[in-house]
Structure 1
């Protein structure tokens, strides 16, 4: 049953990467199926310490899966509302949270953020968009994350070219893979 959960999770991430690479979109059918797959796995699988635990692989339970998905969704609503990530990326991370559960979510999010930073640097260097991306980041730093009465974020500066849209599913899959390897080799403590 654990191998089936791992396979389903890997297929979700692979299909999301292909879709995001080709069209910069992650279809709802993938994210919703991924979330329901995570909930079904953790609700039906024999009890254990998660998909990637080398000693006691198994389901975390429906509650831990729901909490992981819900917290991931809530944490990514601010970046989504600011236009930093897309809706598909946000929903994919909710499905990822459902698969890894609440306890592993901080480590997975850290891996995803590191992967996203590397992806942004590589993408900027390869597409020679460093100036545009740098100007946009500088604009973000001038504004507070949230100002009272304004959750939409600041208006775009017309003098700065829009930053290229990154296929964030690649960063999400890379972060999850890094977490899975760290868990497998017992590097997480």
Structure 2
């Protein structure tokens, strides 16, 4: 692992803490992290390095933009994945987003099972599909959890797997 990887892991751990404790991923963590990644890649790789970082951040933003616009994710979640992309590039952020979605699904399923709401949720989804109305992600009664945790776990898992 490179030293920049340790910086990203610290950012992810801070984001886990703030998302669990305050349900927020703070810009005071996100923006310096992105600037550090951009500066690092510029210093190491020049124009190619900063393009590597910008493309990764852009893909990270785009991947979670639709769920954010539908009300399923907070802005901090979107920016956190962009940070991952800024540090590690397109390939890593794509893989991390996939692992994040799997981990997020497992967490959501566990919460539904714990609350004994799984069958009710499945029934609501099927009813919505039958009448051609899919509920938005921001509908009342949704199961929510700090998704920054899933992003951080997905990104750290990607370190191990890749």
More helix by share: 2
Distance change (3 Å), C-alpha of 1:128 and 1:24 = farther
What is the aligned partner in structure 2 of residue 67 from structure 1?
Answer: 55
Question: Which of these residues, 130, 137, 142, is aligned with residue 163 of structure 1?
Answer: 142
SS of match in other structure, 2:89? helix
Q: Is the 8 A contact 2:9 2:156 kept in 1?
A: no
**1:24 matched to 2:23:** yes
Relative to 1, partners in 2 of residues 1:18 and 1:70: Cα closer, same or farther, differing over 3 Å?
same
Structure 1 stretches of at least 4 aligned residues deviating more than 6 Å after TM superposition: none
1:179 maps to: 158
Instruction: Show the counterpart of 2:43.
Output: 44
Q: 15-24 or 31-40: which moved more?
A: 31-40
Give SS of 1:26's match: coil
Higher mean Cα deviation, 69-78 or 79-88? 69-78
**Residue 70 of structure 2: aligned partner:** 82
Residues 9/71 of structure 1: CA separation in 2 closer, same or farther (3 Å cut): same
Deviation digits for residues 28-63 of structure 1 (CA, Å, limit 9, x no counterpart): 11121221122122222369xxxxxxxxxxxx7110
Is 2:109 the partner of 1:121? Answer: yes
TM-score, normalised relative to structure 2:
0.83
Q: Using the TM superposition, name which of 105-114 and 85-94 deviates more.
A: 105-114
Alignment deviations for residues 113-169 of structure 1 (CA, whole Å, 9 cap, x no partner):
11111111122222334356445655776557xxxxxxxx85966xxx421321111
Unaligned runs of 5+ in 2: none
Distance in 1 separating the partners of 2:82 and 2:128:
25
Aligned length in residues: 159
TM-score (norm 1): 0.72
- Alpha carbons of 1:32 and 1:121: their partners in 2 closer, same or farther (altered >3 Å)? same
Is 1:101 paired with 2:101?
no
**Does the 8 Å CA contact 1:136/1:163 hold for their aligned counterparts?**
no
Unaligned runs of 5+ in 1: 48-59, 145-152, 184-189
1:149 corresponds in structure 2 to: none
Match of 2:145, SS state, is coil
Cα pair 2:85 2:93 within 8 Å, conserved: yes
How big is the alpha-carbon RMSD for the aligned residues of Structure 1 and Structure 2? 2.8
